[in-house]
Chain A
Amino acid sequence: MAEEIKEETKEETKEGAGPRGPGLVRSPLRGEVSRRGFLSVLGMGWGVFTAAAVGMTGAMGRFLFPNVLFEPPQEFKAGFPDDFAVDQVDERFKASYGCWIVRESTGFYVLSTTCTHLGCTPNWLAAEEKFKCPCHGSGFVKTGINIEGPAPRPLERYKITRAEDGQIVVDKNTKYQQEKGQWGLDGAYLPYA
Chain B
Amino acid sequence: MQKLFQAVRSTQIWRSIFRHGYPDTPRNRTLAVLSNTFLHLHPVKVRRSGIRLSYTWCMGGLTFFLFLVETITGLLLMFYYRPTAEHAYQDILALREHVPLGVMREMHRWAAHLMVITVWLHMYRVFLTGSYKPPREFNWNVGVTLLVLTLLLSFTGYLLPWDQLAVWAITVGSNMARATPFLGHEGPGASLLSFGGLNLIHAGDDARFGLLGGRFVGEGALLRFYVLHCVGLPLAAATLMAIHFWRVRKDGGISGPL
Interface of A toward B, CB cutoff 8 Å = 61, 64-66, 69, 71, 74, 98, 118-120, 135, 173
Contacts and interface: CB of A to CB of B under 8 A. Distances in A.
A61 B183 CA distance: 13
B210 interface: yes
Interface stretch (B32-40, B71-79, B124-132, B213-221): B213-221
A119 B175 contact: yes
Contacts of A98: 216
Contacts of B214: 69, 71
B216 to A, nearest CB: 8
A128 B202 CA distance: 35
A66 B202 CA distance: 15
Given A69-B215, A119-B175, 6 more contacts: A64-B210, A65-B209, A65-B210, A69-B214, A118-B175, A120-B171
A118 B168 CA distance: 9
21 contacts: A61-B210, A64-B210, A64-B213, A65-B209, A65-B210, A69-B204, A69-B214, A71-B214, A71-B215, A71-B216, A71-B218, A74-B204, A98-B216, A118-B171, A118-B172, A119-B171, A120-B168, A120-B171, A135-B168, A135-B172, A173-B202
A11 to B, nearest CB: 47
A172 to B, nearest CB: 9
Nearest to A134: B168
A159 to B, nearest CB: 14
A93 to B, nearest CB: 15
Contact of B205 (A65, A71, A74, A173): A65
Interface string B178-214: 0000000000000000000000001011000110011
B134 to A, nearest CB: 33
Contacts of B172: 118-120, 135
A98 B203 CA distance: 14
B80 to A, nearest CB: 27
Contacts of A65: 205, 209-210
A66 B213 CA distance: 8
A182 to B, nearest CB: 14
Closest 3 CB pairs of A and B: A118-B172, A119-B175, A64-B210
A133 to B, nearest CB: 10
A63 to B, nearest CB: 10
A156 B120 CA distance: 39
Contacts of A61: 210
